[in-house]
Structure 1
Amino acid sequence: MVVALDLGVEDYREVLQPEYKDKNFYIDLGILRGCLCFLANFLGQRVDVWIMKEYGVRESWTKLFSVAQGEVNGFLRSLKPLAYSKSGDEVLIEHDNLDLCWYDLKRKQIKNRIPGMPYSFEADAFVESLISVNPNRHLDGRTQDENEDMNMRDDFLSEGFKLVL
């Protein structure tokens, strides 16, 4: 199950997955050019990469490409799309933290492996945002609501209750 959390309204909901005939796969998620990316890993056989073109609309899932075991060096445990090329015709992918390569979307094949990579590495896509995760956090570490709660507790104690030690 994939769950989306809306921080603005503090609510969550299920994000419906693409339709599959075969249900025996592991799920991984990512982001590719601002679109939610769904990876269906069929346990060493292949990895299907889907993107959701219109967020929240199940029918907008589009299968971008699929990489089979025979197309990669070594065993296909994981695959992570990182970015599109400038032309948009290729996708940079990470394979098992061992290889970086380009997937050619027109020819539907892995095109170029990038030489000189360290033995093992991890790459991730970074999504920049100007929106603060917690815009109400003050320098004292408390949120505005927490500060108001503290003031309410002080008011509550000062109205009719005495603390006896």
Structure 2
Amino acid sequence: MTVNFHNSKIDVWVMREYNRGDSWCKLFTLEESRELRSFKCVRPLGYSSNGNKVLLKHNRKRLCWYDLRKKEVTLVRIQGLPNLNEAMICLGTLVTPYFLPREICRKLRTLGCEHP
């Protein structure tokens, strides 16, 4: 869950134990930066493989990494990937989804994004 404070910062919260209201925990606060000037819509999508970064979808247009230790934002640029219209998280499964070309999947993996 995200809480937006008048476009100046966003708190990202997670429920540690499903369906228990007292288990909410604030993961991090994302403050406005040069890369993220507007917080109309910021959605956490997942963690990097080492757990140090969070992949964010920003204003339904861009992907970016937020470094939890350095508190820095890095825009994700993937050559050959068209403009982002939708981003999805794919959990581990026995069925491999083929909604992205293999070349793009390889590029996402090199960036540290877990993707089939």
Q: Which has the higher contact order (CA 8 A, sep 6+)?
A: 2
Number of aligned positions between the proteins: 92
| 8 A Cα contact 1:43 1:77, kept in partner | no
Give the corresponding residue for 1:102: 65
Q: Cα distance 1:129–1:120, how it changes in 2: closer, same or farther (>3 A)? A: closer
Bigger radius of gyration among the two: 1
The alpha carbon displacement at 1:120 in A equals 4.5
Give the corresponding residue for 1:123: 87
| 8 A Cα contact 2:57 2:63, kept in partner | yes
Q: Which runs of 5+ in 1 are unaligned?
A: 1-37, 131-165
| 8 A Cα contact 1:65 1:108, kept in partner | no
Structure 2-normalised TM-score?
A: 0.64
Residues 1:88 and 2:51 aligned together: yes
The alpha carbon displacement at 1:86 in A equals 0.7
Structure 1-normalised TM-score?
A: 0.47
- Distance in 1 (CA, whole Å) between partners of 2:15 and 2:77 is 31
Runs (4 or more) in structure 1 with deviation over 3 Å come to: 71-74, 116-120, 126-130
- Distance in 1 (CA, whole Å) between partners of 2:82 and 2:16 is 34
1:59 aligned counterpart, secondary structure: helix
- Distance in 2 (CA, whole Å) between partners of 1:73 and 1:108 is 12
The alpha carbon displacement at 1:89 in A equals 1.2
Q: Which runs of 5+ in 2 are unaligned?
A: 95-116
- Distance in 1 (CA, whole Å) between partners of 2:64 and 2:89 is 15
Identity percentage of aligned residues: 35
The alpha carbon displacement at 1:71 in A equals 4.9
Give RMSD over aligned pairs: 2.4
